[in-house]
Amino acid sequence: IPAKTPGELDAMQAAGEIVGRALQAVKAEVRPGMTTLDLNEIAEAVIRDAGAIPTFLGYQGFPGSICASVNEVIVHGIPSKDVVLEEGDLVSVDCGATFDGWVGDSAWSFGVGELDDDVIALNEATEWVLMEGLKAMVPGNRLTDVSHALEVATRKAEQKFDVQLGIVDGYGGHGIGRTMHEDPYLANEGKPNRGPRIQEGSVLAIEPMLTLGTVDSAVLEDDWTVVTLDGSYAAHWEHTVAATAGGPRILTPRR
Ligand code: MG
Ligand code: MG
């Protein structure tokens, strides 16, 4: 997996910190009655105020600066004035910013008001799986060591959070650098010790997508929105992570 220099990692983190601030602003302001288009405007303002470009806007024709995926929507929800948030909704916000030619990509899920207990378990489990899985992002490992770590963490999380989890088939993380989606594709499960070697300076966007039910999904007629086939809730957590001699380095930190 191609390596970035320490200076390039610093530049990527500058982009990633803008993403972190945009996500924090959205979470701080979300209320029942707001629309996902409102969330989009909050995030886009933070990105533009920082002198960055919202990476998602226009990406393969995508019309928003964030993906806003509510409840049974897994990823790629289009921000809309018609999607009005209610108490108990689980919102997954995915966001990217391009700054000084480098891209940061990060996502997190949070509740609008109070969530049901099983949805809290899903969300806390997905965060935990991300943080456990990214520990495999160290020089000398191979690509699917990260995939395997995510899968093992998911199965452990079922015990830890007392919840049954589905790992969404066919979606995963990716290389990232001067563009958002670069090779290689990173599956969220699989056998270890396969694929390209992780070097000092390799960067991956690591992004578990877990459900309270199925592993199967469908894309709606808008050609973007990915939903669980059985309508079960889904959560999505993502960080852009570099492998360094000192261990995994999160390039999209949230304060
Ligand atoms: Mg993302
Ligand atoms: Mg990503």
If you measure from the C-alpha of residue 71 to the centroid of ligand 1, how many angstroms do you get, rounded to a whole number? 17
End-to-end Cα, the chain, rounded Å: 28
Cα–Cα nearest to 32, from 81, 70, 87? 87
| DSSP letter, residue 129 | H
Q: What crossing angle do the helices spanning 143-160 and 117-133 adopt, rounded to 10°?
A: 150
The Cβ of residue 31 has, within 10 Å, a number of other Cβ atoms equal to 10
Please name which ligand lies nearest the alpha carbon of 96: 1
Cα–Cα nearest to 20, from 253, 239, 203? 253
If you measure from the C-alpha of residue 67 to the centroid of ligand 1, how many angstroms do you get, rounded to a whole number? 8
If you measure from the C-alpha of residue 161 to the centroid of ligand 1, how many angstroms do you get, rounded to a whole number? 25
pTM over 0.85: yes
If you measure from the C-alpha of residue 157 to the centroid of ligand 1, how many angstroms do you get, rounded to a whole number? 22
Q: What are phi and psi of 42, to 5 degrees?
A: -60, -50
Is the confidence at residue 29, as pLDDT, over 90? yes
Please name which ligand lies nearest the alpha carbon of 205: 2
Could you tell me what percentage of the chain is helix, strand and coil, using 3-state DSSP and rounding each to the nearest 5?
Answer: 30, 30, 40
Report yes or no: 39 and 93 within 8 Å, Cβ to Cβ.
Answer: yes
pLDDT tens per residue across span 96-154: 999 999 999 999 999 999 999 999 999 999 999 999 999 999 999 999 999 999 999 99
For residues 30-35, give the mean pLDDT: 98
Report yes or no: 102 and 15 within 8 Å, Cβ to Cβ.
Answer: yes
**pLDDT computed for residue 255 by the predictor:** 82
